[in-house]
């Protein structure tokens, strides 16, 4: 699992916060199963305003779509 957070998301503090949120989300929810996956997530600028709960729901939806 990897992610890259561009400057479009915000300054360094905001980008680091989004990265911390993504790391927490990946720890909290089970990852996709069914094979070896290489996933790269590139959050949009709205991720900084969305918050941890919204990111958690979006990542759970993403993992569900990958497993189909």
- The upper half-sphere exposure of residue 57, i.e. CA atoms within 13 Å in the direction of its Cβ, equals 5
For residue 32, the domain's CATH number is 3.30.230.10
Residue 2 reports pLDDT greater than 90 = no
pLDDT digits (tens, 9 = 90+) for 12-59: 999 999 999 999 988 888 766 666 778 888 999 999 999 899 999 998
* The pLDDT value given to residue 32: 65
Distance CA 29, CA 32 (A): 9
Q: What is the pTM of this model?
A: 0.81
Number of other CB atoms surrounding residue 27 within 10 Å: 8
Alpha carbon 21 to chain centroid distance?
Answer: 7
* The pLDDT value given to residue 57: 92
Maximal C-alpha separation, the chain: 37
Number of domains present in the structure of the chain: 1
Whole domain around residue 46: which residue ranges? 2-67
């Amino acid at each position: 699992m990897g992610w890259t957070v561009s400057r479009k998301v915000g300054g360094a503090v905001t980008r680091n916060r989004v990265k911390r949120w993504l790391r927490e989300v990946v720890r909290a929810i089970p990852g996709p199963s069914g094979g070896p996956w290489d996933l790269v997530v590139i959050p949009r600028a709205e991720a900084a305003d969305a918050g941890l709960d919204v990111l958690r729901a979006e990542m759970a939806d993403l993992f569900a779509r990958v497993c189909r």
